[in-house]
Homo-oligomer: A and B are copies of this chain.
Amino acid sequence: MILTKTSQYAVRVLTYMIQSDLRVFSAHHLIKALSIPDKYLRQLLTTLSKAGFIKSIRGREGGYVLARNPDKIRLSDIIEVIDGMERYERCLLGFPSCSDDNPCSLHRKWAPLREQMLHFLRETTLDEIRQNDITKF
């Protein structure tokens, strides 16, 4: 798969939160709503909190709140924190030195596609995703 499961989970959680009218989401609520494994999502939520995407509110009545201005969050921002973007930027055959000037045998055909893919990841924001009005999480 292109994204790791963890990145998929992260994107799903944040898109779910941004399109909902609620403000505070408990881990329990998100686990039920998104059918993501309990303990695993809890860890992920802590990661997203530390990364500044959401803010945690501890104690009774606590939960998670979107932190940043969500239209500013890009897919690549999320992926960078979870898996790192580097894997999507590399040469398809794994050469560290592959470039226009020193291409591998697939570079000429692959590089433009890769650029499109990176553009997609870097320019797609959560706000834009919300505007699709999709309720599949």
Contact = CB atoms under 8 A, between A and B. Distances in A.
Interface in A70-94: 75, 87-88, 90, 92-94
A89 to B, nearest CB: 10
A106 B2 CA distance: 13
Interface residues of A, number: 37
Given A2-B2, A2-B88, A94-B5, A129 B105 contact: yes
Given A3-B92, A106-B129, A116-B116, 15 more contacts: A1-B90, A2-B92, A3-B94, A5-B94, A11-B93, A12-B93, A75-B106, A104-B134, A104-B136, A105-B129, A105-B132, A105-B134, A109-B124, A110-B120, A117-B117
